[in-house]
A and B are shown apart, each in its own frame.
Chain A
Amino acid sequence: MGAQLRIYRRRMRSVKATKKITKAMELISASRIVKAQQRVAASSPYANELTRAVTAVASFSSTNHPLTTPSENPRRAAVLIITADRGMAGAYSNAAIKEGDQLVMALRERGLATEAYLVGRKAVNYYRFRSRKIAGSWTGFSDNPTYAHAKEVSEALISAFLADAETVETGVDELHIVYTQFKSMITQIPEARRMLPLEVVESEATSSTLLPMYEFEPNAAEVLNSLLPRYIEARVFNAMLQSAASEHAARRRAMKSATDNADELIKSLTRLANAARQAEITQEISEIVGGADALASASAGSE
C-alpha cells in the first residue's frame, strides 16, 4: 500500500471513531431532553400555586417584608449564573456567562458592586481563569438538578440577602439570576432576571382570574415569611431545570453538527483515498507495461 493511501486510511479511521462518540452523545442528549422537559412540566403546578399564593399575600397585605422592599441605597448585588458542568454543548455555557457579564456591567453602571454565585463547572473555571472573586459555587448537578440542590443554593442567596449590606461584607441588596430559558428543542435563550427584591411575576394562568380575599393563618406577615424562601427556592429550581433542558438541547445540536461534519469528512477522505489507490494502480500498470516494452525491445534487438 502506498504511503499516501495509508495516511488517508488512518485519518478516516480516526474520524470514524470520533463520529461514533459524537453520535452516541447526540442520542443520549436527545433522550435526556425529553426527561428534562417532563421535569420542568412536573415542577410547574407547585411553582404556579406558589406564585399565586405570593401574589395574593403581597397584594392583599401591607406587610413590609425585607424580601419585598427594595433597599433605598443599594450597594451590592448577587448574580447567580447557571451553566453546565461539561462542555461539548456548543455555546451554551458561554452564552449564559456572556449574559451574566452584561448584567454585571449594567449593575456596575448603577454603582453596585457584584458578588458572583456560580452553578456549573464551566462558569467556575471561567471565573477562576480570570481570577475573579467567587462568592459561592456549586458543581456536579447541572444536567440533573434536584430540589435539594436548589434549596442549598437558595439558602446561601437568601442568607446573603438578609445580611445587612452595610455592615456585613457578604451582604447583598439585590439578587439576580442568569439562566437559559428553554423555549423549544431548537431555541434556548440566556436570560437575566431580578429575583429580589421581589417583582411578582404573574403567570398567565393566574392573571385572568381575580384573586379572592384570603384569610391568612396565622397572619399575613407570618405567611409571607415562610412563603418567600419557598418561592425563591422554586424559582431557582425552575431556572435550574430549564437550564438543564437547554443544556441537553444545546449538546444534542452541537453533537449533531459534529456528526454531520464527520460524515462530510469521511466522504471527502474516501474520495481522496480512492483517487490515491487509483493513481497507485495506474502507476503500477504503466510500470509493468514499460518494463514489458523494454524487455520486448531488448529481446527484439538481440535477434
Chain B
Amino acid sequence: MSSNLTVEVVSPEKRVWSGEATMVSARTLEGDLGVLPGHAPLLGVLADGKVSIKVADGSSQEFNIHGGFISVSNDRVSILGEASD
C-alpha cells in the first residue's frame, strides 16, 4: 500500500485538481471527516463548504464545494462537486 492518497477533485465541466496528498479533510452531512492513507472504502455526501487537501509536497489546497460527494477506495479519493473553486 502506498503511503500517499491519490486525490482528484472533479466538477461536471472539468477536472479541477489532481495529485498526491497525505491527508484530505472535508465536512460530510454527519460532521468533519479526515481521510488518511489506508482509510476504509467510503461514500459520503458532503455539506457545502471547504475541502482541504494536504499535498504530498507539503503545501495545501483548499476548494469550495457545493452539492458534492466524497468517495474513498484503495487510497483513491475522489471529490465530486457541482461547483468547485
Interface residue ranges, A against B (CB under 8 Å): 39, 42-43, 45-47, 49-50, 52-53, 56-57, 146-147, 150-151, 211-218, 222-223, 226-227, 230, 233-234, 237
Contacts and interface: CB of A to CB of B under 8 A. Distances in A.
B52 interface: no
Contacts, number: 87
Given A53-B43, A217-B43, A212 B12 contact: no
Nearest to B30: A218
- B-side binding surface: helix, strand, loop or mixed? strand
Contacts of B28: 217-218
B72 to A, nearest CB: 9
B1 interface: no
Nearest to A225: B45
A47 B80 CA distance: 10
A236 to B, nearest CB: 10
A151 B12 CA distance: 11
Contact of A56 (B12, B43, B45): B43
13 contacts: A49-B71, A50-B69, A53-B43, A57-B43, A146-B13, A150-B12, A214-B41, A215-B42, A217-B42, A218-B29, A222-B45, A223-B45, A226-B45
A145 to B, nearest CB: 10
A43 B41 contact: no
A274 B10 CA distance: 63
Interface string B30-44: 100100000011111
A203 B44 CA distance: 21
A44 to B, nearest CB: 9
B43 A147 contact: no
B44 A42 contact: no
Contacts of B29: 217-218, 222
- A-side binding surface: helix, strand, loop or mixed? helix
B82 interface: yes
A295 B33 CA distance: 112
Contacts of A227: 45, 69
Given A49-B71, A212-B74, A147 B13 contact: yes
Given A49-B78, A214-B42, A43 B13 contact: yes
B60 to A, nearest CB: 22
Nearest to B81: A46
Nearest to B18: A45
A49 B10 contact: yes
A45 B11 CA distance: 8
Given A46-B80, A53-B69, A230-B82, A218 B14 contact: no
6 A-B pairs with least C-beta separation? A217-B44, A212-B41, A42-B14, A147-B12, A46-B10, A214-B43
B45 A46 contact: no
B15 A223 contact: no
A233 B13 CA distance: 12
Contacts of B20: none
Contacts of B13: 39, 42-43, 46, 146-147
B45 A237 contact: no
Contacts of A56: 43, 71
A68 to B, nearest CB: 16
A212 B71 contact: no
B19 interface: no
Contacts of B67: 226, 230
A287 to B, nearest CB: 74
B61 interface: no
